[in-house]
Each structure stands twice: as structure tokens, then as C-alpha cells.
Structure 1
């Protein structure tokens, strides 16, 4: 694709975002490297499929042309007649810029070792043998001194491979003596803890988006597929087609920003202050309960399928347990407080009498949504016959996100409509998915895990981090005391990161994390495997250059948000550029240096492993007419089909709850969570602050640095909302100049808050944790009192510790949440001054 065509495409894709012309001059923009000129070739001698495997959830197929080992042109999928249900999986502007990314000036072209201070980004080239021997020698020494848990492999999702993945490096580390791994992720940590607690289901267990064709109301909280799910296969396309078949559907969207999903599609946009969705949910619940609507319309449903709505519900449960000495819920009996029920909590009756009523008038002062409009949402929800409610994952990346998500899940429960056509349970939409099978096991005998979010803390105090306070998990039983507590037992001394940029860029509080990594006495080895010199790569001691997707043979499934289209791409790469190696070959080199090659390879070549993975994938997708060998499949490229039937959230449970119970302890939806009552009784909280507490009921809690936080409100008057831009997936693709030109990074600010500044004015954005410099974009598409910034820009330290790269995580706070030990990175208060 040529630059002029790319810019036409990206302008069309970004037309509603209005972020191209921010009024800033070219002199204001950050410097970007020039991309080497690649010869155009109208008659390519090689045409094959690869895939764009960033963490957007779609893994779009990419068709590329090459000549003499050089990529000459990128195209997307254009097979079939392109009718919805049998349609093309078209890549977005990111996938179409893969040639620029592959030949980027900041490609890591050879193994390197650090020669300056850690973080300075100074390296010298070394051989692969020296890189592997250095790693093996240092890891062996650290393992001998501190044990295998001192070797940590960090979470990263910069490449969603099927075979040539970070598992290759993990396999080498596992076979050679083991390592410490992590659980959960930066995207869904809190929602992953909240969903099973109340619904007893997975985070992605909502109805297919096509079900909105049967709905009469769509209510979305932070729901934005038209910016974050842009693939031709993804949720955006499913929703677009469903809206065409149901043009009169009323669409209500709650978000601090007037997003691209809202433009031309939302009947109404309710601008809300970040982190206050739980307050809105309680006000809506108050309208539904205090009006008598729930009693008349959904009480029978709630009594049948849930526990904890009212005192009677909990009394009945407790009596049932007491009547059976072998009841499966006996251990929870003494934890059930019948006074602690949702109805009394919302109406402020019983034990809650005298507390401030969380009604629409109160919520208006917290959320910024007018009282009349809050009542309007509640009335529309009560009047709907088939409400589809969807809670975006952005709501969970705030302080108190666990409680926010649980509070929002109450709305579909209160309607009593879950399981019916046109409805959903609030969870993220289900993905059809076909996927791949086979691949490399990790061979790791170390069961212990820590939260993905607490790794930097574990560098400093891992030895004392424990199960009940810090979320250390999967310790052996002989390591636990009578209370079920035990410690990790060692600080992290070595960190491995592959295909990820979360050592620095995507982790909270960059300034704090940077100082931890800069101290070589704390973490003695940092190994990064990547294709580009990311901010995280600059902190490596050893750099290992991976091949890009266009240089890699692999199998790519359709990932986790490709909607109702299922597909697998069989990738055929050009010869690796420079001195890069595939992850399998990197893992093999490490295994040889550790002396465990036989365990790693099992006597098979990379090609044989790929063939085995293909055969397993072929067996998994037996309804497809697939060829005999992987090589033949590579020549075809893509296999696909559309979901043969719909999916309605929790329908099997609603139809037959006895034979299809959900996975909560009780087998019902738990408004009063027995599991969280147990956690509240056993876990040790970080502080006595409300946001560090666990409650059996979903309760709105004032977050630190939130709208109501009196400690920061005066000094930092604006709330900052982070969002996903069309020009990156997290931090991936930030180094593509075409995308930086097409989708400018700028701070969205409402005209009421601009203080006379003009579009494009360079400002310093300061939080209690750091400072960044960015241009502003003045727009009414963000509510007053709130500013918004696309996350994922690459950190770049400037004078006075100002991040001139504009990375939002320079401003964020490190504070693991009470249950998931996850990241609350979108709760930020800031002040703004001209640069």
C-alpha cells in the first residue's frame, strides 16, 4: 500500500475522531525515523499470507507480496463475495502498515548487550552464542543462590502467535530449572475477578452482538468497539450489521468521551466522570427498586436465579445450610449476614438506615449526569422488553474497578430478562473462535505465581510477599501455615520479557518502576526479546532480536474478539531479516546453552513442530476441508466460517438451573457473594481505606484520585481518562510514522477547561506521579472536568523528568486492587499548564 492511499484510508477511518488536524505545526511533533525506501514491484514473485497479531483481539490475515526477499506490497483479505456472514476479514490501518513496521529504522537487527547504565539505551552487538551463554551463566548463578522463583517471566501480549511465541523461551527456562510465572492481565484483571463472583461465568460470556437485532434497548458502559475492535471480522462489524437490521434500536452509551461508537449510532450519550459508573448503577437500581418495579416485574426471577437480593433470600439460604450437616455451603454459613442484603443497602434500610441515600439526586453530584437523565436511563431500562447491556473493560481499569463492575452487573439481574433473545448479562460479548492447537509446553515445575501487576514490587520485597496479603498463588501445601498463608520466599533477581512493552511503557508509575530497574543490585538481569527498540527494550541487559510476523512461519487463530467469524491463518514468512531469529530458534539456543536441548526440542526440528501443530489444528477444525500438510495450507492461507447459530448469555442456566448451575459456590448468581464474604474474612488488606476493602455486596466506593478524592482534588482539578486510539494497539505500532501522522496523539480537553489556549498548544500534564508533554485538542467530545489521552505512546525521558513521549503511565499510580491484585491505571487526577 502506498502512502497516499494509506492516508486516504486512515483519514476515512478516523474521520469521526477529528484528531488529524489538531492545529499543531510539524515542528511540534516528535521526531520519527525515516523508513527505508522499498522498491515497488507490480509483478511480485511471491504472494503469501501472514497476519497482524497485535493484542486487539482479531489477528487479521495479511496478504503480502515480495520480490527477492523484500516485501513490496501489503494487502488485506479480499476473498469471497463479501456478504455479511461470509465476508472478508479486512485489516485496519495498523495491519496495512506492516511493511513500514517491518522495515522500521528502530529494528533490533542483532543480539546486543548493554554497555551504559541500565535504561540509557546504549548497546553493542554480540554474537548469538555470547548472548545465550551470558543468559545461561547468570540465570544458573541466580537460581543457585536464590532459587528458581527469583527468575521471573513477565506478562506480554505484543504478538499473539500460535507456535512461535514466548512459550519457546519459557520452555527453555522451564527445562533448565524453572521460573516464576504470573496470573491475570493488564486488560481484564478486575473484571476477571468480579464476573465469576456475581455471575459465575467468564468475562467474555455475553451474548453475541448480533442479538441486538432482537433487542429494543442497548445500554453500554465504556463500550466502544468502533475504535478498539476495528477488524472486518470483529465486534464492530457484527454490531454494525445488527444495527442495520434493527434501525430503530435505542442505543444509550455512557462514557467520558463521545466515542466513534457513539457518533451516528448512539441515540443518547451520557458523559460520565471516570470511575463513577458504580454510583450511576446504584442510582438506577434505586429507581427500579424504590418505585416497586422490581417487586412487580422481576422479583420472581431474582428469587429463582440469585441469592442476596433481600433479607428473606439470605435467611432461606442459611436455613437450608443449617438443615443439612453435609451441605456443600457449610463453610459459608457463619459468613452470611442476613442484614447485609442488596435491597436494604440500596434503600438504606435495616443495618444501612441513616446512611446517605444513593439515589438519582446524589448520583448527579458524583457522576456529572443530570438527575433527570439518570431517571431517564432507569425508566428506559424498566420499559424495555429485551435490554442488551454491555459493560466495557475500561470500567475495570480504575481504582475500585472490581466493585464498579459488580455494581453494573446488577442492572441486567434487576431487569429479570437475562437468557431471553435480544438480551445479555452485561459481560463482554462472546467470541465464536476457531483457534489453533499444538505448540510448546513450558516444562516448568514451579507452580508459584504472582499477579502480573506486582512484579516490580516483588523485585524489592518478593521474599516477604504472601498469599493472604499480596496474592501470591499456587504455593505447595507444605509451604502454607494453618491459616493458609505462605510467602514467595525470594525477591525477583532476573526478569525476562518477550513480545511485550510492559517493563516500562504499559506498567503503572513509570518513574517509580524505572528507578527499581535502574538499580542493578536489585534486579541483576533483564532480558528482552523483541523486534524494535521499545522503551522497555532500552532497559535490557541482553537484547534478543525476534523475527516480525512477515518473517515467521506460524499458525494464527482468530484471537478473542473476532466476533462471530472464526478463522485460522497459516503464515508463510520471508527469510528472516538481518540477524533475527524466530522465538523457537531463540528458545533452542537458550536450551543448548543450558544443556537441555533434548528436553526442549524432543528431537524435532522447527518445521516438524509446525507440522505437528498443523495436524492438531486440522483435527480441531475437522469440519473444514483442509489439505494434508502444513506447507499446502500455507499456500491457501486462510480458512474460515461464520458462527452457525446465535448465543444468548446464560440461556442454558435460565432454562434449566438445576442441571446447568453457574460456577459460584451456590450455583446461582450471587448478589451477596459467598466467595467474597470468605475473602473478606481471610485476606489481609493493604490498608483500612475503603478502596482496599472487600465486601460481599457490590458497593460503590470512593476511589483514590477519583472525582470525590479530597486529598488531590484541589491541587489536581481535572480527571484524566485513558483510551485506545486507532493508531496503536496498546503500544504496538507507535513507531510507524504513517500512523503517527494519521492519528495524532493529543490531549482532548473540553472548551470550558481550555482556559483560552489554542488547538495544538503544548502543555505539561502533571499528576502526583509524574509529568508529560503533549499538544492539546479542544473538543466538546469529552465532558467538562475531564481530559482524555490515548494510551500507549512511547515513554521518552526529557529534561526535569518530563516525559516528552507523552506516555500516560508516567502519570498513573501503582496500587494493586484488593481481590485481583490488578491494575487501576485509569484513575488519574491532573493539572495542566502551558509547556
Structure 2
């Protein structure tokens, strides 16, 4: 039965019986009440926020009436532009009382994946888990236990992995494809986020959004998009599909999926050919003048037996002395271009090598690869390079999830360097979603005795399904078994080989069905403690209070970890309460936290701005980077043997017409983000599902017509990995040759199967050398569709 929020509120005078509601949460006549009853109720206000994985980063003022959450409103930030709440936040009133809530600990009685369980007590559940973990650690060591955590979980069980010597993973292989290329240039490890805060866009002349649907996936940042547009920024969205963001931009450019890197390489060539690059910026702030040896493709250093750094500097050709000099020597004027001979070895500058490498990537070539007109690419590049400060921003769910994504990220870093748009007001390159860049501060940590250390992750978790490794048990926090792996059938084979699986979550998500023991966790609104958690976000410190008591037999994540640690004989090392833990974190010498403590946070409705400037955060304005040379490093010598020291285009790993499989499976399948969910969270939110009641496979009418399909037909999507079924939705907004189903749908909502049955899990070997390891190429997938 569908229950709208309006009906939910209006139902007070009618009562629950006439609406057909059942269950203990809805049986009380105190739940739905007429407005006139408000004065007779006991009310309180509490403050909390959405956890880190939600792109809105909303903070909530919650009204609790007679112990039940009855209203959610935006909390008041110091910066009032953030005082917003989206439909996901409002839907929490319904979702926390969902029939999908896990109500008691469960023990598996059927086969893994069947979803057959019996209720057990907390004591039996925790004792079973503790005994099994002790046994595994005794036999195989702590490394045999893997804590696999969804990124949407804020309390990530920070103590048990170290106390057990276990392995720990958060979304291994996800959201890293573009970051792998960009951050080799910049030297950071921040998931590839753009350097400047989104609120700095008002200072931008041109904003290029590459596969970035910010108006859906970061709804609460839409104001900054429109303020930039009103301030005169030209906003250009490049996307295979006419997304919400594309429809509100000054220009939408439709690109062939998997060719983002080709477009950026073409733009680099246009800039070089027209000399639109910033000569002085390149010499001063980048590795462009460094010298590449012709004999081994390595950079020339003062001491070639060691890695280059400021203490073992790279060498450049000094114009003043016409000789080799360390790049950081006083008075050096490095030549940007040139070829030289040093001790019989030929060398050339990185910039010279870049120009040579780019000769193959002509404007015509880029147009043919990307299926974008030459004139459009030329105008796009001229806008980016010559109009003033510019942003090149991308997303996580599009071009990032391809086997060739690191090449795109590397090309983006070079574009930012050529135009001087990194470390510049109104500039930036990288992920432009989730307001991921802002002022921050260094919190302290809770120190454990030195003998307790987690085992470093042996390998990216997708590889654990096939390669020999130590893992015998998985403690699954969230929905990682479905959401964090492509090719679900391969995941299921691995799952069945494991000795023990535990899932901890508030809801009966798909991962629950594979588990031996299931523990019902509280939502972020419930706790046994007055304080739940704390985070730094959007230049503010946010405190999360308890809103309501735990529902059913659920327990907070903090209490679960504490009680499990007690069963293991290790609880003496944990803080006694979340309040003690958050006090320790705030006990930091960072001056940006001055005056911020639990008491002052409570006095300020649980939100306080850091002691930071009022203007937007802008990174690397000092042009000092966390690379060995402290410069933007455009040449990556560790990838020379892979022919990727400078970006060299590669076709997609699977979804390419050059792949022989293309004849059999001619459609590219993507699983994009949507405003209605956060990955697989909110899949069971009934209020939201009124707008998107079931999974719909979106496809262009031309593709449908050639397959005899009509709008609403039940179709089967299949390839050699597997199959799933869903109803199709025909739309002109979607590019021919490409189909899409929004990510995160639980198996029970599908007509049959799971979208992960078909997704591509083949990892790119080159990317093991990069800082995040190989990306899972979810969107680099070929399929075919037929009517059921």
C-alpha cells in the first residue's frame, strides 16, 4: 500500500485502522493524532545530520513527539546557504519505521543467499561471533578477518580491526578511476576532489562539467551552480545523456561513452597548437622543464639511484648558464622546451615530450573518437583556455567507472596545468560533487596500545574472490556484498567459500541474505547515548544527538562494537561512551577548532563554523604540492613501461566497437546515480518510491524499436556474466547505443535477478601501480536486451 507524506500527516484524525497499517510501530493510537492533540503531547527537539555518504550533507532539526520522530526541518548553519534538506532527509520519518527494519539478531538456517533465518538473542549472537573470531585468529591470525564497510556508515567500527589485527576496506576499487590519474599529478590522496570549494564558482569564467550531474546528486549545491551562472560563468555539461544538469547549463555536449579521455587529449592538442598555455606557470609550478632520459624513459636526477625529491632534485636545463642545474637551485631559469645531450645520453624536457606525444591526438582524431564536432571541441577548448578562471569538474558515477578512467584523470591534470587553473581563484580540476572540498581541521584520535594494529589490506577486495588470500570471515557493515562488487555470480561463489559472514545494518538489505549472523543496528537517529557522532563538513563541526530511543531490539554501532569487544576480552581499550570518544577527538591542538567543544556545540544547536576565513576554501594557492618535487608532476615515470608516463589513449576495456563481443552485445550498460537514493540506501523509502516505484531500464526509442520493444515492456538484460529483468522506459534524453538502470536497487525490487549480474569486473593491470589500485569498471559493460 502506498502512503504519501501528506496522507501520513493527514491521517491523524482517521487513525491507523482505516489505512490498513499493522505492526507494533503503527498500532498505537498515539502515532497518528489530530493537530489539536499537539498541546497534550510531550515534545523535544534534537539535532542530527545525514551521514557522510549523502551528497546533500544536510543537518536536521528533529521534533520528537511522545517518543516518535514527527518532523524534520533544516538545522540552522552559521553559513545559512547550507540550511537545507532534500527529499531523502524528509523521508527518514517514514524510513526509520520501515517494515524492512531488522528487529532482532538472526541466525542463518538455510543456504547462504536463501534468506532463511531464525531470531536469536543478542547474547547468543555476540557469543557466536566472538567465539568464531577467536577461533579464526588462533588458527590463521587476525588477517583472516575482513571488516568490509559501506561508505555511508559513519561509525566504521574504528577499534575492532586494530584490536584483532584484521583487515579493513571501504569501497575498495570504487570512485577512484579518475583520481588515480589526477592525483599522480597533484600528489594528494583525496579521492580526486576539485581543489576549490564549490562556492568559489562565482569567480569562474567557464565551468565544464564532464559526466557530472550535480543538480541531481548534490541537490543542496544547486544554489552555487545558479549563482555562478548568474555571475556570468559559462556552464557547459558534457554527458552522453541530457541530464538535469545538462538541461540547466548554457551548453550541452553529447559525447560517446568511454571517450572522455579522447576529448581531453584533443583539448590538450588544441591548446598546444594555438599556444594558449601559460608558459611561466608551467616553468615555475610544474615538472614540464624536467628532463626525460631517452635510454630508460626516467627523469634525470642529481642521483639517479634514488627517487627524485627536493633533497635529490630533478635536473633542468638552465638558460642562464646553458647547463644542467637542480630545478630548485637559486637563480635557475629552466628551459620549458628543448633536447640536449648529457654524458652521452639524449634528454628532452617533459613539455617537449608532451608536444610530441600529442601529435597523434589531433582535433580531427578527437572529434571522430568522441563523436563531437571539431568546431564544438575547438570552441570548448578556447573557452576553457582563454576566457579566464575555469573549472573542469567531473563526477563519480559516469566516466570514473571505466577501465581507461586514469587516462582521463591524467589528461585533466595536464589541462589544469597548461592553463594555470590549479591553485587559482575560480579554477580547479577534479570531482565537483558533494561539496567535498571545504575548510577542515585535524581531529585527534583515540590511541590504542602499540601492540594493536590492523593488517594492511592484502589486495583490492574484488581480487579476493579469485586470488589466494588470507580472508576467512567478513564482517559486513552495510550492503557491501551486493554493492561493492561487479559480477555478482563471481561474488556469490566467493561468499560460499568463506567460513563466516556477519552483517550489521538497520535494514534487511540484500547482503543480509548471505550472512551467518545478522545484527540489527540503529539508524543515525537512534541511540542508547545522548551523543551519537560528530563530523567536520562544509567548514563546520556537526554534532549528532540521540533523537529517539532504539527501535525494536536494535543497538547503536558504538554499543555493538563495545559489547563485541567485551566478549573478546578487549573492551577496556575502548572509550566508555560516544561522548568520551568525541571529547577525545575534539582535544586537538588545531587552532581551527579553538572554542569548539561538546558544550559549545550543544549551545549552538550542534553546528559551529571552524575558525577559518569567510571566503571559499582554495587549495594550493601557494603552488606547493605533496609530490616528491613539490611541483605538479605531469610525467609519471613508473608508468613508462605501460606507455602511460604521458597520457596515451586506450579504448574502453569492454564497451568498445573494437571488442569482438560488440557484435553479440552491442549496448553499453551503465548504472548511474540518482537523486532518489544514496547508492543502495533509500531503496526501501516508500515516500520516495512513489516517484520511482520500480527499477526502469532507460533506453532510446531507436534501440527499442529495432528490438520490437514498447514503453513499459518487461525486458531481459543479459551478457555472458548473467542476466536481470526490468521494465523499460523509453526516453529521447538517452543516447542510442547506451542503456541505463539506476544503481542500488535491491534484488527484491527487481523483476528478476540483480543489475550486478551483468556488470564488468575485469580490472586494468596497469592500475595496480597507482595510489588507489584498479577501478571496478561498472559502466564499461556490454549487454543485449530482449523482450520477455
Cα distance in structure 2, aligned partners of 1:153 and 1:445? 16
Where in structure 2 are the equivalents of 1:546-561 lying within 5 Å? 546-552=521-527, 553-554=530-531, 556-557=533-534
How far residue 285 of structure 1 moved from its aligned partner, in angstroms, is: 1.5
User: 1:716/1:618 Cα in 2 relative to 1: closer, same or farther (>3 Å)?
Assistant: same
Matched, 1:56 2:54: yes
SS in 1 for 2:663: coil
Matched, 1:513 2:495: no
Q: What corresponds to 1:713 in structure 2?
A: 662
Q: What corresponds to 1:785 in structure 2?
A: 737
Deviations 1:658-683 (A, max 9, x none): xxx31222221122124545xx5xxx
User: 1:421/1:619 Cα in 2 relative to 1: closer, same or farther (>3 Å)?
Assistant: closer
User: 1:312/1:731 Cα in 2 relative to 1: closer, same or farther (>3 Å)?
Assistant: closer
Q: What corresponds to 1:689 in structure 2?
A: none
User: 1:542/1:572 Cα in 2 relative to 1: closer, same or farther (>3 Å)?
Assistant: same
User: 1:67/1:123 Cα in 2 relative to 1: closer, same or farther (>3 Å)?
Assistant: same
Decide which of 658, 670, 693 is 2:633's aligned counterpart: 670
Unpaired stretches in structure 2, ≥5 consecutive residues? 10-22, 316-341
| Contact 2:61–2:73 under 8 Å retained in 1 | yes
Where in structure 2 are the equivalents of 1:171-320 lying within 5 Å? 171-172=159-160, 174-175=162-163, 177-182=164-169, 185-201=172-188, 202=190, 203-231=192-220, 235-244=221-230, 246=231, 248-264=232-248, 266-291=249-274, 293-294=275-276, 297-308=277-288
Matched, 1:773 2:698: no
How far residue 122 of structure 1 moved from its aligned partner, in angstroms, is: 0.7
| Contact 2:161–2:168 under 8 Å retained in 1 | no
TM-score norm. by structure 1 comes to 0.78
SS in 2 for 1:449: coil
Q: What corresponds to 1:166 in structure 2?
A: 156
| Contact 2:534–2:582 under 8 Å retained in 1 | no
Cα distance in structure 1, aligned partners of 2:471 and 2:598? 47
Decide which of 436, 441, 463 is 1:457's aligned counterpart: 463
SS in 2 for 1:729: coil
Q: What corresponds to 2:761 in structure 1?
A: 814
Cα distance in structure 2, aligned partners of 1:421 and 1:438? 31
Q: What corresponds to 1:65 in structure 2?
A: 63
Unpaired stretches in structure 1, ≥5 consecutive residues? 10-32, 464-490, 654-660, 681-692, 798-802
User: 1:445/1:192 Cα in 2 relative to 1: closer, same or farther (>3 Å)?
Assistant: farther
How far residue 280 of structure 1 moved from its aligned partner, in angstroms, is: 0.7
How far residue 39 of structure 1 moved from its aligned partner, in angstroms, is: 2.1
Decide which of 360, 370, 373 is 1:370's aligned counterpart: 373
Cα distance in structure 1, aligned partners of 2:6 and 2:217? 19
Cα distance in structure 1, aligned partners of 2:213 and 2:5? 26
| Contact 2:270–2:378 under 8 Å retained in 1 | yes
Aligned residues, how many?
Answer: 719
| Contact 1:286–1:347 under 8 Å retained in 2 | no
Cα distance in structure 2, aligned partners of 1:8 and 1:217? 45
Decide which of 590, 599, 621 is 1:628's aligned counterpart: 599
Q: What corresponds to 2:424 in structure 1?
A: 420
Matched, 1:432 2:438: yes
User: 1:759/1:141 Cα in 2 relative to 1: closer, same or farther (>3 Å)?
Assistant: same
| Contact 2:446–2:581 under 8 Å retained in 1 | no
SS in 2 for 1:598: helix
Cα distance in structure 2, aligned partners of 1:426 and 1:51? 26
How far residue 434 of structure 1 moved from its aligned partner, in angstroms, is: 5.3
Deviates more, 1:617-626 or 1:177-186: 617-626
Deviations 1:333-366 (A, max 9, x none): 99x99579565566558xx8xxxx3223222332
SS in 2 for 1:210: helix
Q: What corresponds to 2:302 in structure 1?
A: 321
Q: What corresponds to 2:327 in structure 1?
A: none
How far residue 612 of structure 1 moved from its aligned partner, in angstroms, is: 2.7
Q: What corresponds to 2:474 in structure 1?
A: 495
User: 1:811/1:338 Cα in 2 relative to 1: closer, same or farther (>3 Å)?
Assistant: farther
Matched, 1:395 2:399: yes
How far residue 308 of structure 1 moved from its aligned partner, in angstroms, is: 4.4
| Contact 1:51–1:556 under 8 Å retained in 2 | no
Kindly report the root-mean-square deviation, in angstroms, between the aligned alpha carbons of the 2 structures: 3.7
Deviations 1:562-602 (A, max 9, x none): 4xx5341331231211111111211122122112232335x
Cα distance in structure 2, aligned partners of 1:124 and 1:325? 60
| Contact 2:47–2:75 under 8 Å retained in 1 | no
User: 1:615/1:285 Cα in 2 relative to 1: closer, same or farther (>3 Å)?
Assistant: closer
How far residue 771 of structure 1 moved from its aligned partner, in angstroms, is: 1.4
Where in structure 2 are the equivalents of 1:17-166 lying within 5 Å? 36=26, 38-40=31-33, 42=35, 43=38, 44-45=41-42, 46-53=44-51, 55-71=53-69, 73-77=70-74, 79=76, 85-87=79-81, 89-160=83-154, 165-166=155-156
Cα distance in structure 2, aligned partners of 1:109 and 1:312? 63
| Contact 2:716–2:726 under 8 Å retained in 1 | yes
